[in-house]
Amino acid sequence: MIKMKSVLLVVSTILLSGCFPLDPDRNLSPSYKDGRFRNLAPDEELNGKSFFSVLKWKLLGPRDPLALPNLDKEPPMVLERTPSSLLAKDGTVKVVWFGHATVWISVNSGGKTVNILTDPIFESPLLVDRWVPLPISKETLPPVDLVVVSHAHRDHLDRPSLRYLREKNPGLKILLPSGMKAFSSDEKLGLVQVQEIGQVTRQDSVKVTFLPAYHWSRMGINDTNQYFWGSYSIEANGKLLYFAGDTGYSVHFKEIAKMLGKPIDLALLPIGAYKPRWFMKYAHIGPDEALTASLDLNARSFAPIHWGTFPLGDDLPQEPLMDLKGKLNFPEIPDIKGLNPLYTGISWGNKNGVRVLPWTIGSGIDLE
């Protein structure tokens, strides 16, 4: 019965996808070759999956074993937030995880605040139920100045959320990957800038740079890899953040380190929707690859995102974080439920010096 529901979900998603407009000049992008957008690294394995691969996964498996025994099957805790608790103090950067790849970043420079959201999704993507609520209602969010979108998948590019933010924030600027001008016009998203690798956008004191990712895109039945994908660095108040969006592992992490030319203070790296590995490996890094990526990026610390929010893979809600904890091999690491819910300086580490900042949905990190 469960397998049949999974098949119906896959088929229904395809049938309900519809068609979306394509930029006629998308072929002018330096990242567009031979009829589609391309990754920096070879991506034949990534793009070798088909509708029938999904059916095989859902119907036949194989399923990966649990990363650890006796895993909690419940979703992670959610810490409620007030509007004022989202705002950075002067000279600082505040980072709050809203779940999945949605991260609130508030910058205060000389009393001027710039608020940023990454891949905002306030409800649930098509035919997928949300495990946990937002830490704050969308109606009570402080003003949003800038939205960055990593790629065109429905759990990252959520049209209702973007339209809501545009209506509530008339001056909102939205950054979308290359190939999405016609899409943004059709969706009436207002002030949109499409991005090529290395492109810089400034919002007051904040510098945002569009960077590579190793992924793919699809919104409807006609647009596979016709919209680009990427990641972003955000620099403000002397701090450098990196938002990976959604990505598999490749040489692009080391290339990003070269492009940035200095250490990253905080890397926001995905760890969930990583199972089964035979299906997810090329599109989604898992906990072990996130650790390697943080080293490639020359990141001083990393906070794990893209877990515990939606049932997109075979992994249990808290399995990615507990798997990450297990791979660090530090017995003194406390259980996530025993931590002070708001970030207080506790960090995990390993022999390579990676500083992992454990958090749950609604947790915040202050960069001072």
74, pLDDT greater than 90: yes
pLDDT tens-digit readout, 238-278: 999 999 999 999 999 999 999 999 999 999 999 999 999 99
User: What pLDDT does 55 receive?
Assistant: 78
- Between CA 294 and CA 302 the distance in angstroms is 7
4, pLDDT greater than 70: no
Closest CA to 355 of 365, 340, 368: 365
pLDDT tens-digit readout, 237-246: 999 999 999 9
User: What pLDDT does 53 receive?
Assistant: 72
CA atoms within 13 A on the CB side of 205: 19
Burial of 224 (0-12, 13-18, 19+ CB in 10 A): middle
User: What pLDDT does 338 receive?
Assistant: 44
User: What pLDDT does 124 receive?
Assistant: 93
For range 75-92, the mean pLDDT? 96
User: What pLDDT does 339 receive?
Assistant: 43
User: What pLDDT does 352 receive?
Assistant: 67
More confidently predicted of 356 and 234: 234
For range 81-105, the mean pLDDT? 98
111, pLDDT greater than 90: yes
pLDDT tens-digit readout, 145-197: 999 999 999 999 999 999 999 999 999 999 999 999 999 999 999 999 999 99
CATH label of the domain that carries residue 54: 3.60.15.10
- Between CA 286 and CA 297 the distance in angstroms is 16
143, 166 in Cβ contact below 8 A?
Answer: no
**DSSP secondary structure, 200-224, as one string:** EEEETTEEEEEE--S----SSSS-T
| Average pLDDT along the chain | 90
DSSP E strands, 237-342: 239-243, 266-270, 302-305
What SS3 state is found at 276?
Answer: coil
Hunting for tokens 């999704």 — which residue is that?
A: 121
215, pLDDT greater than 90: yes
Percent residues over pLDDT 90 in the chain: 76
211, 200 in Cβ contact below 8 A?
Answer: no
Expressed as residue numbers, the domain containing 206 is 2-367
pLDDT tens-digit readout, 294-347: 999 999 999 999 999 999 999 999 999 999 988 876 555 555 444 443 334 456
User: What pLDDT does 330 receive?
Assistant: 56
Domain count, the chain: 1
349, pLDDT greater than 90: no
CA atoms within 13 A on the CB side of 19: 3
pLDDT tens-digit readout, 282-293: 999 999 999 999
7, pLDDT greater than 60: no
For range 338-361, the mean pLDDT? 63
